Amino acid sequence: MFSLAELLKNHPVPGLKNAAIRSDCVEVLKEVLGLPVAAKKIAYDAGVLTLSLPPVVKSAALMKQEQIKAALLERGLQLQEIR
């Protein structure tokens, strides 16, 4: 008979990797833009960073896109596009 602890030990926690990526993105945006960004307002999937932020903040991010790409690349994340 298997215990629940044995079953969970062999399977990764769902969403843990995504949460770590979003945390890295939040830190980079805070560093580059100088503004606090909530993790629930961003999404990262296959090189596309989607920002659900006010237009002024999104425009600032688009203007500093190259700096954000460089900072994310240092953390091991490829950025192709900001939406």
In a domain, 66, yes or no: yes
Q: Is residue 10 part of a domain?
A: no
Q: What length does the chain have?
A: 83
Containing structural domain, residue 55: 15-82
Residue with tokens 């949460």: 19
Distance CA 41, CA 1 (A): 43
DSSP helix/strand/coil, 51 = strand
- Whether 41 is covered by a domain: the verdict is yes
Q: How far apart are CA 46 and CA 54, in angstroms?
A: 23
Q: Give 1-17 pLDDT, tens digit per residue.
A: 567 777 777 777 777 88
When divided into structural domains, the chain yields a total of 1
66 within 8 A of 79, measured Cβ to Cβ: no
Condensed to tens digits (0 to 9), the pLDDT of residues 20-75 reads 999 999 999 999 999 999 999 999 998 899 999 999 999 999 999 999 999 999 99
Q: Which residues pair with 45 in a beta bridge?
A: 48
